[in-house]
Chains A and B, each alone.
Chain A
């Protein structure tokens, strides 16, 4: 089966500073990949480069999403193509309700795919159903986007956006940070419910804990902007015991 996402020898950085140094990674539909690594290894940069944030420059290599090069696509084009990034630090947008935002987002994506926009009543039904499944009350839909939300509520809200938009590839950037165990379980349930044969996921995390709840098919260790080791779910457990020291040392000497 051809890859959903194929990253080949990717070099990228910001402000002239290289961060990704020849990263290669391939995710097939249905697979959940986890990327683990020490702070500063370039995990979040990878998520921003994939989703098209301003300021990051790709200086070499390819990132192909369903055979299409992401490098030339605007962030919204990537979203319409089916890429989704759950942010490590979700943004607050004052004066825009969660509901208005979700509706604008969903309809922009439907429109971009040449599909009909969703009418107000169907949208409301869908948003309520999906938010309740994530343990969010209706009040949270009426509130301003992430304004005054706790850390856990913001992360839940990211997952709500993900389940509403049904992406082909979801990138979760440290979704576990700032979550207590109950919130972590709820979020993981939301993510697991989305696992599907035609959908891929890239779970970026510093800790093994999240992977107790979202079982990865493949675990990668990232250090100094490259994948330095890949393995099965057992690799995460190994890392939990031995830490990253081995990999950090290796790449410094490399």
Chain B
């Protein structure tokens, strides 16, 4: 989005909502521009440089069909057809004109042409797959609300080759449970998720990035009442000059809330992985348990991993920890597998697949997990010149 103003002028006739509010959001965004490395949260991700890089990653169709999903396909920024199921209410997208103190969100507020606005209640029997495809620059603003005790699996299936600024606002009612699976295979994406949890709500996000010149996945998790649980797990398979950045702020505003974060990066060639995780435990939020783990397997000397865990704790009775392990492919493990008859390629494949499996194993639905395993198997074979093993 290098010339946002002219883009805005061109599309403003098609944009819904209050155009004046959008214009002021754009002005606020343009006043500061896209983030630069001078901002702490963007220190490792140089947006302007990465947006200038082409992306040549292939996009595989993930075979969700076998799971009989509800589909919401955004083709070049427009929802093709609203999904329809019991317990799912989809409303037309309406721009709300809100602006924030954040250029990425302000560009989104100014330019978002569409988004899934959905309210879920009860246990949704089918997974809801939101697919973003096309090659144009798009801004999407999704709003997902889970009613109390609702249960759902949501997939953010990013298949776009273009630039995407995607915002997810997710609110979980008391006792609601959401599994959010995200897949990015290519393109340039800056994604921002705001996830709010009410009492005893549970969210689990599993993000797989297998390509893309820019994959920035930012999540801000906020516990507003006691008993909530959040898990954020990510797996990155980096090739070429892929850049994958997971940046989280997990704000434990309420007591007896727990979070568990893990980041697994396999980085080849000149790819780069970034993990920034900040856990905040507020003053009265006692009995919080927050765990954070970063693991990276470096397959090339040209690859880079930046891990920055942060704990900001104001309560005194909490259990918080973070750990980081960055290393090469384990040569002893490689020898062990070869001594059991596996050729070097199959041994490497098994070690990489096993590494990523530690993220996939968090998916409760086995059919869903197998669908994603198939994608990962295909990507590992294609990206790291290793043979698939049975």
Contact = CB atoms under 8 A, between A and B. Distances in A.
Nearest to A161: B340
A107 interface: yes
Given A93-B351, A94-B358, A95-B353, A108 B343 contact: yes
B225 to A, nearest CB: 35
B338 A93 contact: no
Contact of A75 (B338, B346, B390): B338
A95 B356 contact: yes
Contacts of A52: 335, 338-339
Contacts of A96: 350-351, 353-354, 357
A75 B357 contact: no
Contact of B390 (A85, A95, A104): A104
Interface residues of A, number: 33
Interface residues on B, range: 20 to 34
Given A54-B331, A91-B332, A93-B333, A112 B355 contact: no
A171 B158 CA distance: 51
A105 interface: yes
Given A54-B335, A95-B361, A108 B340 contact: yes
B270 interface: no
Contact of A53 (B335, B342, B355): B335
A27 interface: no
B61 interface: no
Contacts of B337: 93, 101, 105
Q: Is the interface of A mostly helix, strand, loop or mixed?
A: helix
A103 B361 CA distance: 20
Given A95-B357, A104-B346, A112 B341 contact: yes
B389 interface: yes
Contacts of A101: 337, 340, 350
A108 B339 CA distance: 11
B341 A94 contact: no
A40 to B, nearest CB: 20
A90 B342 CA distance: 16
A74 to B, nearest CB: 7
B336 interface: yes
Nearest to A91: B336
A95 B355 contact: yes
A80 interface: yes
Interface string B372-390: 0000000000000000011
Contacts of B336: 87, 90-91, 93
Interface in B339-373: 339-344, 346, 350-351, 353-358, 361
B390 A76 contact: no
Contact of B339 (A85, A103, A112): A85
Nearest to B336: A91
A108 B342 contact: yes
Interface in A96-129: 96, 100-101, 103-109, 112, 117
A109 B337 CA distance: 12
B390 A94 contact: no
A94 B332 CA distance: 14
A109 B346 CA distance: 12
Nearest to A164: B340
Interface string B254-266: 0000000000000
Given A76-B343, A94-B355, A96-B357, A107 B338 contact: no
Interface of A: 51-54, 74-76, 78-80, 84-85, 87, 90-91, 93-96, 100-101, 103-109, 112, 117, 144, 161, 165
Interface of B: 330-333, 335-344, 346, 350-351, 353-358, 361, 389-390
20 contacts: A53-B339, A74-B338, A76-B338, A76-B341, A79-B340, A84-B339, A85-B339, A93-B336, A93-B350, A94-B355, A94-B357, A95-B356, A95-B357, A95-B361, A96-B354, A103-B390, A104-B389, A105-B340, A109-B340, A112-B341
> Which 9 A-B residue pairings sit nearest by Cβ, starting from the closest?
A95-B354, A95-B357, A109-B341, A75-B338, A96-B354, A108-B341, A105-B340, A79-B341, A91-B336
